[in-house]
Amino acid sequence: MSRQPFFSVVIPTYNRAALVGKTISTILDQQFTDFELIIVDDGSKDNTEEVVRSFNDMRLTYFKKENGERGAARNFGAQKANGVYVNFFDSDDLMYPHHLSTARDFIQQRGQPEFFHLGYDFKDANGNVTKVVNGLDESIAERALFDNFLSCNGVFVRMDIARKFPFDENRVLASAEDWELWIRLISRFKLHYSNAVTTSVVGHDERSIRTIPTDKVLNRDLYLIERLRSDPAVVAKFGRSFNLFVAQRYTFFMLCLADDRRRPDVIRWARRAVATYPLILFSPRFIASLKKTLLNG
């Protein structure tokens, strides 16, 4: 490995001792070998450290820090990294052997882009592919405002950009800190992409995004909205589309609250959604939320 590795793979992890070993193995088995692997243990209480230290590879470095959520752990790892590009990888997902070689070839073809995204798939706990995300086109930047479909595993950021634009470390934003950063980067740089499938998001019962309470979702998304609204580059990039984005988050609130049978709150957010973007009245989620609320009485 050269003194400055081409890639830095940064993995934040928290209590993933049962999963992180398999993730590490798929990274150390990459066809392209000029990389460093930085594991940032975000205050695990299980035997994550023991699992990580069982790997005897000079490319791997382990750090343990006080718990601060993934955004803080990723930023910590980026500060320790030496690569030309950084790939923030999740500790429960998998790389195909050609992940880094595909990224290296893409960088050479595109002239060192600020950031880019590769295709990926989803697997269930038994290893069966359940979905493939490899149909990206030039609408990727506009679509990314409305749906967090970019896989953190598939995003590569040039190190000078990663240092200038870190993840927001506010705990309120946890589970959407990557989405917030992608939108800020898209507002400033072209998002390059390849549909080559190089990683897998693995489904399992412990994935944290599956168990977020409604009020926590509302607080997270309200912080996300205000954070993006305060960024002039985001407002300039998306214009009226930003109002639609806000209204769609409000309809997401409606759906969550309808599931919780909180009818007054559903009506309140319905009014705010319409005031923000009147045509949201005709969106399927707006209509479905109201129907569910009426049926639940």
User: For position 55, which CATH number holds?
Assistant: 3.90.550.10
Report the C-alpha gap between 1 and 58 in whole angstroms.
9
Determine whether 130 is exposed, middle or buried from the number of CB atoms within 10 Å of its CB (0-12, 13-18, 19+): exposed
**Same domain, yes or no: 261 and 180:** no
Residue type, 273: A
List, as one string, the DSSP characters of 264-291.
Answer: HHHHHHHHHHHHH-GGGGGSHHHHHHHH
Express each pLDDT in 223-265 by its tens digit.
999 999 999 999 999 999 999 999 999 999 999 999 899 999 9
Phi and psi for 243 in degrees, rounded to 5? -60, -40
Higher-confidence position of 280 and 208 = 280
* Residue 216 pLDDT exceeds 70: yes
Lowest mean pLDDT among 139-153, 158-172, 201-215, 282-296: 201-215
**Same domain, yes or no: 105 and 189:** yes
- Residue 2 in any domain: the answer is no
Q: How does residue 206 score in pLDDT terms, banded at 50, 70 and 90?
A: low
What is the mean pLDDT of the segment spanning 93-108? Answer: 98
Report the C-alpha gap between 289 and 53 in whole angstroms.
49
**Same domain, yes or no: 186 and 43:** yes
Express each pLDDT in 269-279 by its tens digit.
999 999 999 99
Residue with tokens 């109002």: 243
**Same domain, yes or no: 48 and 182:** yes
Half-sphere exposure of 175 (CA within 13 A, CB side): 14
**Same domain, yes or no: 82 and 163:** yes
Q: What tokens were used for 181?
A: 């950063």
Express each pLDDT in 22-78 by its tens digit.
999 999 999 999 999 999 999 999 999 999 999 999 999 999 999 999 999 999 999
Do 71 and 168 contact (CB within 8 A), yes or no? Answer: yes
Higher-confidence position of 126 and 107 = 107
Give the range of the structural domain holding residue 23, as residue numbers without chain letter.
7-206
**Same domain, yes or no: 198 and 243:** no
